[in-house]
Structure 1
């Protein structure tokens, strides 16, 4: 089961969340930009869960 990498902040909807960029996520995969997560005190407004750094996906390195 793969983590859903949402590409927009659920609060401001203007921040683009690149798969290899910084973002915050809760256990239900609600996704926020760092600025909005900080403004929310790192608490998800949808479920009340903790917002933590989302793992990043980097492009495959060809060799």
Structure 2
């Protein structure tokens, strides 16, 4: 996914339901300039399972710009 390849900012959001499988967010831009928030579970097997993708809120965009 483009956002994950374009130097996103990561943030741990919450502990997962299973040990070692926490929920993270990645905030970044696509190649055409869209600002997206991607929420995913990072598994023990070092895989990212995407749960949700949406446009960044204005607050998230301000934080991302810093």
In terms of fraction of residues, the more strand-rich structure is: 2
TM-score bracket for this pair, using the shorter chain length: under 0.3
Q: Which has the higher contact order (CA 8 A, sep 6+)?
A: 1
Q: TM-score, normalised by structure 1?
A: 0.23
In terms of fraction of residues, the more helix-rich structure is: 2
Q: TM-score, normalised by structure 2?
A: 0.23
